[in-house]
Structure 1
């Protein structure tokens, strides 16, 4: 795993860091963000409402009209704030382009920062799901940037997926900063193989084919396409079935090293993980022991074995 914690920046809705910027003058401090992730990430706080010139406290607002192009309206006085917010969004995303962000955590339900299922009201009809104006602008400007809402980080599967993508994006940025060439791309891809396989065998094959014919494309185009497929693959969830296939694949490297009892023990741990009896960290710990013991160099370089700090305990859930 590459990249120091201090170099891993993520954008965060300011209220989640305890800043009193909400419409009612309060905050929505998220202890997991500041207490746990704060040990590994540095935060770039953003509050679109305050930064675009609205005061605190302020009148509540909501999205109305076309879900694809909603208007931002004050709830009581019916003032249209759309233009003011969109102008801020245009300028802010360009500022953020210089921050080297590796992820973004948005505030759930916010008409500016909500990422999923933000209510968009239509006259005489039930509200439909939309996206906050600022969150939509960030998603358009940075299509491969890992993004999540704070509430969804309570789900251990979604939390692991998001944080794994943040570290992966940092690794990719480090690779791009290190005078990349085709040989280095082959090396980078080799280290990511099992991680990608745990998310998508189809995109694992596509990435392999892309790298194999790397000389056929202009190098900038090759890098752009690789980033697109790499982050697309990691966005897909690494299910128990996919993880089990990778564990079995790794076990195959030791068929000449392990005795019958060791193979049975390892197979049992993998089966227990598959059946939801033990977390992923259990069979992985045994496999990492064998990687070190038998000096399996190909596996030793695989990011899959340690894609994020063990202290985050992302693979400890059943």
Structure 2
């Protein structure tokens, strides 16, 4: 496989998992971003870095940060009421009154109303990673 093809594969894998990683560990998110700037990258190395996060205990701050990044895709279209609802749900999550699933379900409802192809592929929102993380 040519280096260009490997890089494209890595970028696709990263695009799908970026918010999942950010939601688990801001530190690892930054490490992976730096890794992807290297001249040579390896899909197996990238996949391993992402897989290792499965065992990391959730960080409310990192998950909240990822949600705020995702919110950026909606802020121009969503209503004030929708924004307030998301922030209320997120605050309840931070206070331990609900869980990540509640927050993600709300974002997915926004996604139905305001489609975004990039976000629709995000493992944080599709739940692809959630089955094995529980």
Regarding TM over 0.5, the answer is yes
Classify the secondary structure of the residue corresponding to 2:115. coil
Structure 2 equivalent of residue 250 of structure 1: 70
Q: 2:103 aligns with which of 276, 279, 283?
A: 283
Could you tell me how far 1:291 is from its partner in structure 2? 1.3
Structure 2 equivalent of residue 261 of structure 1: 81
Could you tell me how far 1:297 is from its partner in structure 2? 1.5
Classify the secondary structure of the residue corresponding to 1:255. coil
Could you tell me how far 1:212 is from its partner in structure 2? 2.8
Give me the whole-angstrom Cα distance separating, in 1, the residues matched to 2:120 and 2:24. 20
Structure 2 equivalent of residue 38 of structure 1: none
Q: Does 1:188 align with 2:13?
A: yes
Q: Relative contact order (alpha carbons < 8 A, sep ≥ 6): 1 or 2 greater?
A: 2
Higher helix share: 2
**TM-score of the superposed pair, with normalisation by structure 2:** 0.81
Structure 1 equivalent of residue 24 of structure 2: 199
Structure 2 equivalent of residue 307 of structure 1: 128
> Contact (CA 8 Å) 1:272, 1:278: kept in 2 or not?
yes
Q: Deviation above 4 Å: which 4+ runs of structure 1?
A: none
Q: Does 1:210 align with 2:35?
A: yes
Q: What are the Cα deviations for residues 15-35 of structure 1, in whole angstroms up to 9, with x where unaligned?
A: xxxxxxxxxxxxxxxxxxxxx
Could you tell me how far 1:240 is from its partner in structure 2? 1.9
Aligned counterparts, 1:40-189, within 5 A: 181-189=6-14
Q: Does 1:298 align with 2:118?
A: yes
Higher strand share: 1
Give me the whole-angstrom Cα distance separating, in 2, the residues matched to 1:262 and 1:290. 8
Could you tell me how far 1:205 is from its partner in structure 2? 1.5
Could you tell me how far 1:308 is from its partner in structure 2? 4.1
Q: What are the Cα deviations for residues 9-56 of structure 1, in whole angstroms up to 9, with x where unaligned?
A: xxxxxxxxxxxxxxxxxxxxxxxxxxxxxxxxxxxxxxxxxxxxxxxx
Give me the whole-angstrom Cα distance separating, in 1, the residues matched to 2:55 and 2:68. 23
Q: What are the Cα deviations for residues 117-172 of structure 1, in whole angstroms up to 9, with x where unaligned?
A: xxxxxxxxxxxxxxxxxxxxxxxxxxxxxxxxxxxxxxxxxxxxxxxxxxxxxxxx
Could you tell me how far 1:228 is from its partner in structure 2? 3.9
Q: What are the Cα deviations for residues 266-292 of structure 1, in whole angstroms up to 9, with x where unaligned?
A: 111111111111222212111001112
> Contact (CA 8 Å) 1:196, 1:234: kept in 2 or not?
no
> Contact (CA 8 Å) 2:9, 2:43: kept in 1 or not?
no
Give me the whole-angstrom Cα distance separating, in 2, the residues matched to 1:238 and 1:202. 13
Q: Does 1:235 align with 2:60?
A: no
RMSD in angstroms over aligned alpha carbons?
2.4
Structure 1 residue ranges without an equivalent (≥5)? 1-179
